[in-house]
Amino acid sequence: MFGRLGRLVVHHPWKVIGVWLLAAIAVVASAPEFTSTTDQSRFLPSHYESIKAMELQEKAFPQNSPPAALIVFAREDGAALTENDSAAVAAAAKALGGKNIKGVSGIQATPPSENRLIQVIAVQMTKVTSASDKTQGDAVKSLRDNLKEQVRDTDLKAGITGAAAQTLDQAESGERGLAIVGAATIVLILALLLIIFRSPVIALLPVLVIGGVSSMVGSLIAVAAKAFDLEMDASVNSILVVVLFGVGTDYILFLMFRYRERLRAGEDAKTAMVSAVTRVGEAITSAAGAVIIAFTALTLSSLGMFRALGPALAIAVAVALVAGLTLVPAIVSLLGTKVFWPSKAWRVEPKGARFTAVGAAMGRRPGLFAVVSGGVLVALSVFAIGFNPTFDLGSGSTSDASESVVYNKELLKGMPAGATQPSDVLLHAPDGPLTPDELQGYRGALARVPGVGAVGEPMVSADGTIANFQVTLADAPESDAALDTVRGPLRAAAHDAAPAGSTAAVGGITAVFVDFQDAMNRDYSIVFPVAAVLIMLVLALLLRSLVAPWYLMASVFLGFAATLGATVLVFQHIQGDSGLIFTLPVIMYLFVVALGTDYNILMIARLREETREGRDPREAAALSVRHTGPTVAAAGVILAGTFASMMLAGNSVLSQMGFAISVGIGIAAFVMAMFFTPAITALLGHRAWWPGHGDRAPKSAESGVGEVDYVPVA
């Protein structure tokens, strides 16, 4: 099959390139706009309590919502506010209200805090309809510009925080981060490929090809999102960049190594490319299939953000695979050996002394290599027990110098930490109106809950059957303490203290995060096992074995646990962070499990080839490390490097993701695939291929996978 594909592409390169151009134009022109959302509540199923509370709130109080922004005033000298200062705040509120800023529906000055260190102007805004709706962000920018004039001739300083301001600052930080990640990824790929192949043509090839198909990928994702009503998280763009360039470059790398090998074997340029597609096609397709399956398994998630992210990344990998097997061979077949210009080193067979020595040592003592590499994985895995998920994405996604962060700290000088995003307790009495005594008694019960800073006067619906109690928590809304308060005593008190015949639901961003945690725990128990079974089926079909898939997946599981442990060790124990971003295990699953399987497939395919040529298991393992080790190493360095570039984005969220994924890929390439997998296979010998005969030479002909993956530096 791959032989026919190679001949078709190489003999009709211009037609293949033309089809790609027409397809890209058609997809981009017909696709809807790619949109995303930052509203976490939109990712939860409707049966969770926080969503029920939100729906009840929208039904009873459609015109009322918590302030989208808070303008915080304080004296420059840090002293208590005077009466003149409060008068200046009131005047500022009136002046800002008179500006008629688009998106601002109300501006109201509140009394100074009890200690008179701060005073707040609450700003109501029109609701955001989608991530592409910039109305609130533009309103914050206008308010910030006008605010400077209001405090110019006073002793006051002022700034804007709250949900709308935090979202704006996060978006601006994210855009800067995305630009840094994109630039660093491209520079890294260019530099590493120049070192490996010593050719600017090959170095530019992945950048131009993947950059060219990236708009097509975005359009296909937008089509899928619209067709299946998927909610895309705003972070998908930064992940998509590194997935496309990282995975796409890997596949191109595997193809070019094989192309160079066939040229060295004496084949002409076109025949060499046909051979390359023929021989590497099965391995690349199987590896991509495992990744796509792992990503697609996320459709089983109960969280909309992961149900959308999985298919989005699966589309990216599928396009990268097809481009690697069709578009790249078509372009290279036109260039011929000029693709290696100006280097002549492609003509010379390198010796690969380091990998030869490592492979020989493994062949002699596979048990030692298995114990040491497995021991490293187990030792790092121990630290994974201390993983603490955190929902503090706001401070982690922006600079400490951003206005929303600075003035959130000012706000805490006079108000409870939960003031920026209060929780809501909705009380519903369907059989009749709630009495004043019931409302005040219920309010008192909520106020006595440990961890609650304040409870506002209830807002009652027109028919008196629904009341909304705004609860300000004593701790920051995204903190572990706030989550514990909502999960435990607040929800318990809200339910137990409800008057007879009524029900209660606790909502707000903290409640959303609590429900997120429950949903993710449910997903871990379903998505991960299903993905593991499906990947094992791919491995069983590829290797015709029921034994090898088990220890291959065991190594991947150990790699996942070791990666999480290494990240916990660095960020929680050494750096002192309170926790890691709550999505990290799923993000790691996407890349460490899927891509770890990739490298295992490449190594085990080569090992199978060596055994089919009549070599004993230990010799086959040694030769596999010698010949495929450099390829896996080069691919691992490039892919880990592209993800490590996320650490340059300047915020802790992307730093944690970049570190975890790059370390995970390093572990997958340099521990699992390089040592653990071939060592275990050598120890098991013929039993690794039971009940099939994967280690015996096929009766016919066309060699499938893995001929020679020689040293990349030449």
SS (H, E, C) 66-86: CCCEEEEEEECCCCCCCHHHH
The answer to whether residue 235 scores a pLDDT higher than 60 is no
What pLDDT score was predicted for residue 452?
A: 92
* Span 606-622, average pLDDT: 84
What pLDDT score was predicted for residue 633?
A: 85
| Residue 590 is assigned to a structural domain of this protein | yes
Please, how many CA atoms are within 13 Å of residue 503, restricted to the half-sphere of its CB?
Answer: 7
What pLDDT score was predicted for residue 651?
A: 67
pLDDT digits (tens, 9 = 90+) for 9-46: 989 999 999 999 999 898 888 877 665 555 554 567 77
Tell me what the pLDDT averaged over the chain comes to.
83
* Span 338-353, average pLDDT: 75
The DSSP line for 604-623 is HHHHHHHHHTT--HHHHHHH
**Whole-number Å distance between alpha carbons of 475 and 452:** 8
Choosing from 499, 526, 553, the residue where a domain stops is: 526
302 and 228 co-located in one domain: yes
The answer to whether residue 63 scores a pLDDT higher than 70 is no
Can you give the CATH number for the domain in which 83 is found?
3.30.70.1430
118 and 223 co-located in one domain: no
The answer to whether residue 143 scores a pLDDT higher than 50 is yes
Strands (E), 474-597: 503-507, 580-581
| Residue 395 is assigned to a structural domain of this protein | no
The answer to whether residue 65 scores a pLDDT higher than 50 is yes
334 and 480 co-located in one domain: no
The answer to whether residue 712 scores a pLDDT higher than 60 is no
56 and 77 co-located in one domain: no
Structure tokens at 296: 């697609």
507 and 465 co-located in one domain: yes
| 428 alpha carbon, distance to own chain's centre | 38
How many Cβ atoms are within 10 Å of 650's Cβ, its own excluded?
A: 14
The answer to whether residue 606 scores a pLDDT higher than 90 is no
| Residue 379 is assigned to a structural domain of this protein | no
* Span 399-423, average pLDDT: 79
| Residue 531 is assigned to a structural domain of this protein | no
| Residue 443 is assigned to a structural domain of this protein | yes
13 and 97 co-located in one domain: no
The answer to whether residue 695 scores a pLDDT higher than 70 is no
The answer to whether residue 562 scores a pLDDT higher than 90 is yes
Q: What is the CA radius of gyration of the chain?
A: 29
**Whole-number Å distance between alpha carbons of 257 and 275:** 12
Nearest partner of 682 among 599, 603, 595, 596, judged by Cα = 603
Total domains present in the chain: 4
Can you give the CATH number for the domain in which 430 is found?
3.30.70
The model's confidence at residue 694, banded by pLDDT at 50, 70 and 90, is low
99 and 53 co-located in one domain: no
Choosing from 342, 373, 388, the residue where a domain stops is: 342
The answer to whether residue 700 scores a pLDDT higher than 50 is no
The model's confidence at residue 156, banded by pLDDT at 50, 70 and 90, is very high
Strands (E), 87-164: 104-109, 119-125, 156-161
Which residues are CB-contacts of 328 (< 8 A; sequence separation ≥ 6)?
A: 205, 209, 252, 255
What pLDDT score was predicted for residue 93?
A: 92
440 and 554 co-located in one domain: no
Which among 4-13, 221-230, 591-600, 645-654 has the top mean pLDDT? 4-13
| Residue 299 is assigned to a structural domain of this protein | yes
| Residue 390 is assigned to a structural domain of this protein | no
The model's confidence at residue 708, banded by pLDDT at 50, 70 and 90, is very low
Of 683 and 241, which is predicted with more confidence?
Answer: 683
Can you give the CATH number for the domain in which 3 is found?
1.20.1640.10
The DSSP line for 256-288 is HHHHHHHHHTT--HHHHHHHHHHHHHHHHHHHH
153 and 218 co-located in one domain: no
Residue 110 exposed, middle or buried by CB count within 10 Å (0-12, 13-18, 19+): middle
| Residue 383 is assigned to a structural domain of this protein | no
**Whole-number Å distance between alpha carbons of 124 and 110:** 13
* Span 81-92, average pLDDT: 92
Q: Is the pTM of this model over 0.75?
A: no
Lowest mean per-residue pLDDT among 76-80, 191-195, 322-326, 498-502: 191-195
What pLDDT score was predicted for residue 279?
A: 78
Residue 243 exposed, middle or buried by CB count within 10 Å (0-12, 13-18, 19+): buried
Structure tokens at 298: 């996320």
The answer to whether residue 696 scores a pLDDT higher than 80 is no
603 and 709 co-located in one domain: yes
680 and 638 co-located in one domain: yes
Nearest partner of 248 among 319, 296, 177, judged by Cα = 319
Pair 283, 254: CB distance under 8 Å: yes
155 and 186 co-located in one domain: no
Q: Which phi and psi (to 5°) does residue 69 adopt?
A: -145, 150
The model's confidence at residue 713, banded by pLDDT at 50, 70 and 90, is very low
With left for phi above 0 and alpha for psi between -120 and 50, is residue 67 left, alpha or beta? beta
**Whole-number Å distance between alpha carbons of 182 and 184:** 6
The model's confidence at residue 704, banded by pLDDT at 50, 70 and 90, is very low
How many H-runs (helices) and E-runs (strands) does the chain carry?
Answer: 25, 11
The answer to whether residue 118 scores a pLDDT higher than 60 is yes
Alpha helix (H) residue ranges in 98-162: 135-151
The model's confidence at residue 75, banded by pLDDT at 50, 70 and 90, is very high
Choosing from 342, 376, 392, the residue where a domain stops is: 342
pLDDT digits (tens, 9 = 90+) for 493-512: 999 999 988 999 999 889 98
What is the residue range of 656's domain? 544-697+705-714
β-sheet bridge partners, residue 82: none
Lowest mean per-residue pLDDT among 33-42, 92-101, 119-128, 216-225: 33-42
How many Cβ atoms are within 10 Å of 129's Cβ, its own excluded?
A: 10
Pair 583, 396: CB distance under 8 Å: no
Nearest partner of 73 among 18, 30, 118, 14, judged by Cα = 118
